Amino acid sequence: MILDPLEVLKQLVAIPSVNPMGRDVTGPIYGTARLTDFLEKTCRQIGLTTQRQLVAPGHENLIARLDGHRAPEDGGVILLDAHQDTVPVDGMTIPPFEPQEREGRLYGRGACDTKGGMAAILAALSRLAQHQPRPAATVILSCTINEEYGCTGARRLTESWSGGHDKLMPRKPDVAVSVEPTGLDVVIAHRGVIRWKCNTHGRAGHSSRPIAEDNAIYTMARVVTAIEQYAATLGTHGRVHPLCGPCTANVGTIRGGASANIVPDRCTIEIELRPPPGDDLAAARQRLIDHLTHTVAARFPIEHEPPYMAGPPLSNQHNAALAEQLCHVAGEVAGGCRKVGVPYGTNAALFAAAGVPAVVLGPGFLAQAHTADEWVPVDQVRQVAEILYRFCLAFAQPEMCHAGSS
% pLDDT > 70, the chain: 96
Q: Is the peptide bond before 138 cis (omega within 30 degrees of 0)?
A: no
Going by C-beta distance under 8 Å and a sequence separation of 6 or more, which residues neighbour residue 358?
175, 176, 177, 178, 314, 319, 322, 348, 349, 351, 352
Q: Is the peptide bond before 135 cis (omega within 30 degrees of 0)?
A: yes
pLDDT in tens, 312-335: 999 999 999 999 999 999 999 999
d(C-alpha 258, C-alpha 108), whole Å: 37
Going by C-beta distance under 8 Å and a sequence separation of 6 or more, which residues neighbour residue 6?
101, 106, 119, 378, 381, 382
Answer whether residue 402 shows pLDDT above 90: no
Nearest alpha carbon to residue 388 among 64, 140, 113: 140
Q: Where in the chain is the domain with CATH 3.40.630.10?
A: 5-190+313-400
- State residue 71's pLDDT score: 58
Mean pLDDT of 43-59: 95
Cα 317-319-324 angle, rounded to 5 deg? 120
Architecture of domain 193-311: 2-Layer Sandwich (3.30)
Work out the pLDDT band at 75, boundaries 50, 70, 90: low
Q: Where in the chain is the domain with CATH 3.30.70.360?
A: 193-311
Architecture of domain 5-190+313-400: 3-Layer(aba) Sandwich (3.40)
Mean pLDDT of 382-401: 86
Work out the pLDDT band at 405, boundaries 50, 70, 90: very low
Task: Give the Cβ contact number of residue 74 at 10 Å.
Answer: 11
